[in-house]
Amino acid sequence: MEAAPAPLPVPTGRPVQTVGRRKEAVVRVRLVPGNGGFKLNGKSLEQYFPNKVHQQIVKEPLVTVERLEGFDVLATLRGGGPSGQAGALRMAIARALVAYDADDRPALKKAGMLTRDAREKERKKYGLKKARKAPQYSKR
C-alpha cells in the first residue's frame, strides 16, 4: 500500500504581480492566495472566455503544478483577440507561480509556459495585397 502524496502547502503571503504578452495582447496578473477564483476585467472566467478551449489554456499552469484551488487570479487584459489574450494570461499566471515558488519552474518550463511566443503578424508589403499574397497574374 502506497502512502498518499503529501498535501501541497496552503499559499500564504503577499500577492504576486506579473505581465504576460502574446501577439498584440498584454495581460497584467495579480496572484492572490485564495480558493481558485478568476476575475478577468471584472468578469468571471466563463463570462470572459466562453470558449472551453480558451478556459483550458488559462487554467493549464495551475493544473500543471496542481494548485488550481490554491490561488485567486485577478487580471487586466488589453489588446489582441481571445486566443492571444488566453495565451498571454497563461504566461502571466505561469510567471506568477514561479515568482511565488521557484520549485514550480522546471515543470512549467518543460510544458513551455515560460517561453514567449515570438510569432507576430507579418507586415504588408507594397505591390502585394497582403503580407505575401500577390495580385492575380494575367499572362495576356
Q: Which three cell numbers stand for residue 101?
A: 515558488
Contacts of 33 (CB under 8 A, 6+ apart): 10, 11, 12, 13, 15, 70, 71, 72
Question: What are the helix (H) ranges across 42-104?
Answer: 45-48, 52-64, 82-100
Buried b / exposed e over 69-97, threshold 16 CB at 10 Å, is ebbbbbbebeebebbbbbbbbbbbbbbbb
Q: What is the pLDDT of residue 88?
A: 96
pLDDT above 90: residue 11: no
pLDDT above 60: residue 44: yes
Condensed to tens digits (0 to 9), the pLDDT of residues 16-41 reads 999 999 999 999 999 999 998 999 99
The pTM for the full model equals 0.86
Pick the closest to residue 86 from 140, 134, 131, 40 (CA basis).
40
Domain ranges of the chain: 16-110
- How high is the mean pLDDT of the chain? 90
Tell me which fold the domain 16-110 belongs to.
Answer: Ribosomal Protein S5; domain 2 (3.30.230)
pLDDT above 80: residue 68: yes
